[in-house]
Amino acid sequence: MQNETRETKKMEIASEAQGTSDKGSYWASNIRLVKWCLVIWALCSFGFGIILRPLLSGIEIGGADLGFWFAQQGSILVFLALIFFYAWRMNALDREHGVDEE
């Protein structure tokens, strides 16, 4: 709970700078964010992990290549980063657009 109050303050400053806008632009920014996150999601798993693996075969990692690492561990780490980034960015967007829960 303490964390949240601290964050609320930070976001309030952000929302003053941005001003509040309508729901349409809130949804549009959300969709933009989701699209970019999903591009990275697909690139690291289906891309580096499977289809683009031959392109990365030159980069060695502990007895295998970078593609093998992405398929077995790297993609999972990227997924984690993506979810936390999205949660942080969206919770900030909620406040900038004044649609967060009071």
Backbone angles phi, psi at 81, to 5 degrees: -60, -40
Q: What are the C-alpha distances in Å from 89 to residues 49, 55, 56, 63, 73?
A: 26, 32, 31, 37, 25
Residue closer to other proteins (CB basis): 18 or 94: 94
With residue 93 as reference, give the H or E element that holds it: helix 75-96
Whichever of 13 and 80 has its CB closer to other proteins, that residue is 80
Contact 99, 26 (CB under 8 A): yes
Based on CB atoms, which residue is closest to other proteins, 15 or 69?
69
Cβ-based nearer residue to other proteins, 17 or 102:
102
Q: What DSSP element (H or E) covers 61? A: strand 60-61
Q: Residues in the site for other proteins, rule: CB under 8 A?
A: 23, 26-27, 30, 34, 37-38, 41, 45-46, 49-51, 53, 61-65, 68-69, 71-73, 75-77, 79-80, 82-84, 86-87, 90-91, 94, 98-102
| Nearest distance in Å: CB 18, other proteins | 16
Query: Smallest distance from the beta carbon of 36 to other proteins, in angstroms?
Result: 10
